[in-house]
């Protein structure tokens, strides 16, 4: 079995192609999506704070109702 230099070139071109496609996918799809999710999360957290809620969706302790079993007296 003889390995020809052109086979190495073909393998290198294929490997380089996968790396280029991966880099383009990261730059065009993945990273902008994560950035948008982070911006949306920050916007939701800021909106919750302005409404008197904690950013994770629970009400702040000073806004708990008397019927809430988790409310502190």
Question: pLDDT tens digit string along 4-27?
Answer: 888 999 999 999 999 999 999 998
Residue pair 52/60 in contact by the 8 Å Cβ criterion = yes
Asked if the structure places residue 5 within a domain, the reply is no
Domain holding 26, by residue range, is 13-40
Cβ-based neighbours of 59, under 8 Å, separated by 6 or more: 52, 53
Asked if the structure places residue 7 within a domain, the reply is no
Asked if the structure places residue 21 within a domain, the reply is yes
pLDDT digits (tens, 9 = 90+) for 33-73: 877 777 777 777 777 777 777 666 555 555 555 555 565 55
Asked if the structure places residue 73 within a domain, the reply is no
Q: What domain count does the chain have?
A: 1
Asked if the structure places residue 29 within a domain, the reply is yes
């Amino acid at each position: 079995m003889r390995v020809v230099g052109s086979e190495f070139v073909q393998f290198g071109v294929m490997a380089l192609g996968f790396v280029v496609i991966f880099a383009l996918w990261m730059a065009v799809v993945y990273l902008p999506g994560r950035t948008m999710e982070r911006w949306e999360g920050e916007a939701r957290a800021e909106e919750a704070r302005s409404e008197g809620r904690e950013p994770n969706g629970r009400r702040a302790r000073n806004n708990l109702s008397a019927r809430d079993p988790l409310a502190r007296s």
